[in-house]
Structure formats: structure tokens, C-alpha cells
Homo-oligomer: A and B are copies of this chain.
Amino acid sequence: MTTTVPSLMATPPGRYYSDPEIFEQERDRIFHRSWFAVTHVSDVPTPGKFRTARVGRENVVVVRGHDGAVQAFLNVCRHRGFLLCKEEYGEVRRNLRCAYHSWTYGLDGRLVSAPHLAKMPDVDRGDWGLKRLHVREYLGYVWVCLAEEPPSFEEAVVHAITRRFDDEQAIDSWQMAELKVGRRISYTVKANWKIIVENFMECYHCASIHPELTSVLPECVQGYAAQYYAGRGLSFREDAEAFSVDGTGGFGKLPGITEDQDRTYWGVTINPQVFINFVPDHVIFHRLFPISAERTIVECDWLFAEGVPEGARLDHSVELFHRVNRQDFEVCEMCQLNMKSSAYETGGVLVPHEHHIAADFHSWYLGALETA
């Protein structure tokens, strides 16, 4: 006796992609509880350098301490809520000093001084430090979790990669901690973050909107995304030299890349906000910053080997996925416009080429959202 899966599986209903109240629940139950890749370690290269970013409802500051370790805090002064670090990228000499009343915190977040604090003997500095967040460095990125009890980093992040490669060591070939950010582009997308995730996970749309990508990766035309598979990437066109806008140029391959991995594209999604694209000579790393139910900032880094020069050849590689991004984000915005339609009241559908979205994303998402 066999059961058959119907060809068309339902997505969540349209209100999940447009209702501000559901977005607030997502902030509480997903963004405030997950590991979030906030920034590249090279954005905070030396003690006192910081980067701020929005994670869920919070403004977060990532700063490198005097001991060389990276820390992360809510970017909120304990006295009157002032936004401690104003710039997106910045540097302080010794301390984080609030510009309003001069409450001053060490780079480890501890309250160091405040005007007239000596006259407040009942105030224990230990109680009034910045709200400290859990931090992990992995793949060259600083990952932050706002929860008191963060989920297992191994299960939430590392396994997503392992599962896709079907191999625990594969990721090591790229030695990502050694790569440098060759280009960073930030996109403001007027679409719910889940539409962007769904779009990234499937290649059923590739033949329709990605001429450059399907030219370099001809298998795309079949409509199966690299992440449809475990342990299988998409091969380059036979005469393509590189993963670039026209298949020429590129930088050969990174030193650790094996024969199996060469001339192949791999894609990984790490819920809820990271996409990684692996090719032999570089890595493209997307981080989503959901701003509202209908708006998401996507920051995309192109990572190359140390020593790869800026210039036309690098532009040529970047241009491919920059086009893919713009093609994708435009269609995501066109979907967003109908999320409140009665025609999407019960959601849309996934074809068989997209069923892995239900298994790998929707079921994770709905489970996470329901966990009060």
C-alpha cells in the first residue's frame, strides 16, 4: 500500500506575509530566539571598533574588546535608553560613553562610571552593565542570539550546512574564516522576509528570470535548486571558466577546494536569515534583516581569498549574483503586493520542485512561531 504526495502543497496563508501582528510574533519567537549573523568579523577588526544592526525589535552593537574578543550588547543605555552607538560602523577609544549623561561602559559592557556615581553608594555597578548577548564567531561572521537560553549553535547553524553538503567536512574546503569581504551591497526589499527565503530556496523560477545564472549553471533550467538535494551541487556549463556574469574570468579555485567541489555551485539556507552560495573561487553570503511585515534589508557579501585585487575581474564575478539578487528581489516585491488578496487567503502552492521548502522552511517556521 502506498500513499502519494499531491503535486501541489500549500504555503502558509497570505496574512503570514503581511500582517503586522504576526510580524511582532515572529520578532518575539523567531528573531529574538535564533542565531543571527550580524556582521563580518573584519567589520570589527581591532579593539574599540563597532558595528550596529537591527535584530528583531532591537538595536544591537557588536564591538571588539580590549582582549581581542568580540562582544555584543543591546545598544541601549541603562539610564535613559539612549542609543549608545549612533553610527552603523564606528570606533571608540576605550569605552562606550553615552553622549546624553555620560554613563560610561567598558568594552565588556560593565558600567565603569557615571557622573556623581560616588554619591550613590547603594548602586552596584555590576547590576547596571549593558544587556549582554550571546555571541559566536563562525565562518568569519559574528553570530548573535538575543535569547537568555540560545538554541544549540551546532543544531541551528552548523547542521544546516552539514545536511546540505551531506558531509561534515565539506565546508572546511572554503576556509571561510580566511576570506575577505571583496564587495558588500545592501538591498532594501519591499517584501516579507519569508518570500525572500522561499525565492532563494527554489530554482523553479530560474529559467524564467535568471538568464545569466542559467547560462553558467545549465542544470538550473530543470528547475531543481542546488538545495533541493543533499550532497549534490549544480555543475558549471562545460566551457565556463568561472561563476561570473558571462562565465569568463574568475580566480581559479580556493586552495582547499577538492576536485568534487570544483566547477560546482552549492546553496545553503540557514533559518531564519542566512543564505550561502559556494563556488570554487568565492562565497556569496546573504544576511536578511527583517524591518517590518513588508520590508527587509538584505546585506550581501562577496567573499574572496586574501590577495584578490579589486578591479574589473572582481566586478565581473560580483555582477552575476548582483543581477540575480535584483531579479529575485523585484519578483519578491511583485508577490508582496498580493499577499492581502482573497486569492492568497489560503496561501499559494509549491510544485514538486519546491517541496523541500515545506520540509526545510515552512515546517520549521510554523513550529517556531507556535512555540509560545
Contacts and interface: CB of A to CB of B under 8 A. Distances in A.
A209 B198 CA distance: 48
A208 B99 contact: yes
Given A6-B122, A79-B348, A123-B8, A209 B334 contact: no
A101 B335 CA distance: 12
Nearest to A347: B81
B116 A80 contact: no
Contact of A79 (B82, B116, B120, B349): B349
Contacts of A82: 331, 334-335, 338
Given A207-B102, A223-B115, A341 B81 contact: yes
A76 B343 CA distance: 7
As for how many copies of this chain the complex holds, the number is: 3
A358 to B, nearest CB: 13
A153 B301 CA distance: 58
Interface residues of A, number: 59
A204 B101 contact: yes
Contact of A81 (B58, B99, B348): B348
A7 interface: yes
Given A204-B101, A341-B58, A122 B7 contact: yes
Given A6-B122, A78-B349, A341-B57, A334 B204 contact: no
Contacts of A207: 102, 115
A344 interface: yes
A341 B208 contact: no
Interface string A236-271: 000000000000000000000000000000000000
Given A4-B122, A59-B338, A115 B74 contact: no
Interface string A200-240: 00001101110000000000000100000000000000000
Given A83-B338, A334-B99, A335-B82, A351 B120 contact: yes
A93 interface: no
Interface string A330-353: 010011011111111000110111
Interface string A52-86: 00000111000000000000001111111111001
A209 B99 CA distance: 7
A337 B119 contact: no
Contacts of A331: 82, 99-100
Interface of A: 4, 6-8, 11, 14, 32, 57-59, 74-83, 86, 98-102, 114-116, 119-123, 131, 146, 198, 204-205, 207-209, 223, 331, 334-335, 337-344, 348-349, 351-353
10 contacts: A6-B122, A7-B121, A58-B343, A79-B349, A80-B198, A81-B344, A81-B348, A83-B335, A99-B331, A99-B334
Which 3 residue pairs spanning A and B have beta carbons closest together? Answer: A7-B120, A76-B343, A80-B348
